[in-house]
Chains A and B, each alone.
Chain A
Amino acid sequence: MKTIITTITTALLIGTVTLYGDGDRKKKQPYMPETGKAAELYKTECGACHMAYQPEFLPKRSWEKMMRTLSEHFDTDATLDREEYRTIQAYLLRNASDAKPVYGDTGKIARSIRAEQTPLRISQTRYFRKEHREIPKRLIVQKEVRSIANCTACHTKAEKGDYSERAIFIPNYGKWDD
């Protein structure tokens, strides 16, 4: 019992500290992703065609819609078998932006989504568009990038959830200074 209380108290303390550390303060929260089988499955299945975007980018309603429409997934067939479907769906829902506190750039994107919106494209969220509006189209359509959804082409640490400016390197351009 004592252990449980200690654990809860510690969790609450960490929660409070991290909550107050959020926002525009310089001190960044490291991204602490869920690890384990479900996370690995998500990476192999969804990551086969594109970067496995951190689930924290979008709210539960977006992931629910995403999973309901896999046969028409951005005009591609991305259907899964039943067991994989269930594992991935549960993983996405428990890590969605409104399922737990999220920090940093992922959190900023998630918070820029209005309550009445259910975006499927992270690239159509308000904060994402604001942050990418100055990038010339030619740098996006070039063959080294191809799509604005190809995070890793420029965000060299995107797969680790690090979208910081110092980790940006745009092919045929170089570092990006805001």
Chain B
Amino acid sequence: MKRELIVLAYLAGTLAYGGTVDDYIQNLAAQAKKQNPSFDGFSAKRGKNIYFSKHIGKRGKEISCASCHTNDPKQPGENIFTGKKIKPLSPSVNPKRFTDVKKIKKWLRRNFKDVYRREGSATEKGDILLFMRSN
């Protein structure tokens, strides 16, 4: 009974937030295709490049995603500005990662703005998600 309730609550949760992570990624793919007709799928290789490339971020300092999340997404990171510890990004060591669409959207929005000083495109978001999930 308890398990059924949990499943129900989970379903209600995912419905309220617009579907599962896979739905979200399919959605991004549709958007990417619309923006660029020659789009033929997300690339973990491009995602890796997004993760490691350095930019003058919102704080005026040169940073990349790796600045806080480290060169190895399996390792715990640390917010280099506040010192707050960050749990590993890699779902292989932190299974809770990339399971909540709402959370994914929020952090993609914030972190693209912090590092790239702009929103990520649908292609970029899908690429980085693929890279993260394959880690």
A interface residues with partner B (beta carbon < 8 Å): 48-51, 71, 74-81, 144-147, 149-150, 153
Q: Which residues of A contact B55 (CB under 8 A)?
A: none
CB-CB under 8 A for A50 and B84, given A77-B113, A79-B110, A81-B106: yes
Stretch at the interface among B19-27, B29-37, B39-47, B74-82: B74-82
Is B114 at the interface (CB under 8 A from chain A)? yes
A interface: dominant SS: loop
Which residues in B have their C-beta under 8 angstroms from that of A145?
Answer: 83
Do B84 and A49 touch (CB < 8 A)? yes
User: Is B48 engaged at the interface, CB distance under 8 Å to the other chain?
Assistant: no
CB contacts (< 8 Å) of A48 on chain B: these are 84
Q: Can you list 28 A-B contacts (CB < 8 A)? A: A48-B84, A49-B79, A49-B82, A49-B84, A50-B79, A50-B82, A50-B84, A74-B81, A76-B58, A76-B59, A76-B81, A76-B114, A77-B58, A77-B111, A77-B113, A78-B110, A79-B109, A80-B106, A81-B106, A144-B83, A146-B80, A146-B81, A146-B82, A146-B83, A147-B83, A150-B82, A150-B83, A153-B83
The total of Cβ contacts below 8 Å across the A-B interface reads 45
CA distance A51 to B59 in the complex (A): 19
> From B107, which residue of chain A is reached at the shortest CB distance?
A48
Q: Could you say which residues of chain A place their CB within 8 Å of the CB of B84?
A: 48-51, 150
Q: A49 CB to closest chain B CB, in angstroms?
A: 6
Beta-carbon nearest neighbor of A142 in chain B:
B83
Q: Which residues of A contact B110 (CB under 8 A)?
A: 76-79
Smallest CB–CB gap between A122 and chain B, Å? 13
User: Which A residues lie within 8 Å of B114 (CB)?
Assistant: 76-77
